[in-house]
A and B are shown apart, each in its own frame.
Chain A
Amino acid sequence: AQSVAQPEDQVNVAEGNPLTVKCTYSVSGNPYLFWYVQYPNRGLQFLLKYITGDNLVKGSYGFEAEFNKSQTSFHLKKPSALVSDSALYFCAVGGAGNMLTFGGGTRLMVKP
């Protein structure tokens, strides 16, 4: 069975500083990995995905994610955080068809 772990419930960062939201996964075979963001009282929005190829994936709103096969990690990064980036972030692994298995989520707080 596949699984996703997000070890941090909350990440705090000052505006303008780089941010990292961590994700590790467990899956048999090649992983399909996703990051989604959720703003208050809204559904999830797709940020980026890794299927194959370059280990650094670029996505929406200046976010990128680094795939590391040996560490089974897929950490979300942004060089310079904005207050508007404050939200709940979910890492997910894709399974058969389009079924997603989600991590528990990490709340990102960016302070001015």
Chain B
Amino acid sequence: NAGVTQTPKFQVLKTGQSMTLQCAQDMNHEYMSWYRQDPGMGLRLIHYSVGAGITDQGEVPNGYNVSRSTTEDFPLRLLSAAPSQTSVYFCASSYTNDNQPQHFGDGTRLSIL
């Protein structure tokens, strides 16, 4: 049982480049989300999904796109990377029932030069 798998673990981009952060879960969880972690600011919600075909914005969605074509996968796209997007990105999943514990991946450390 792999849980939540994120790839890549590390990435360095130049300003203006695009990339996709991958997230997959094998627990048949309906709810998936993306957070970014910055020092002293905890984790902030970027986008989330309550099921395949359904996505919505979180607290800090600008500069990021998501889609949810399957229950298992929830990729995060940076269309034109900016230095302000340098961060550690975490994907999480859970059952949809309100306030279920969330399972987190190990993160993608992204640097934008």
Chain A residues with a Cβ under 8 A of chain B: 4, 9, 32, 34, 36, 41-46, 49, 51, 90, 92, 94, 97-105
Contact = CB atoms under 8 A, between A and B. Distances in A.
Contacts of A51: 99
A43 B48 contact: no
Contact of B104 (A32, A44, A101): A44
Contacts of A34: 99, 101
Contact count band on B: 20 to 34
Contacts of B48: 97-99
Given A43-B4, A44-B90, A99 B45 contact: yes
A100 B31 CA distance: 12
Interface string B69-111: 0000000000000000000001010101011111111110000
A98 B45 CA distance: 11
A49 B102 CA distance: 11
Given A44-B104, A98-B33, A32 B43 contact: no
A43 B58 contact: no
Nearest to B105: A43
Contacts of A103: 42
11 contacts: A34-B99, A43-B104, A45-B104, A51-B99, A97-B96, A97-B98, A98-B31, A98-B33, A98-B98, A102-B44, A103-B42
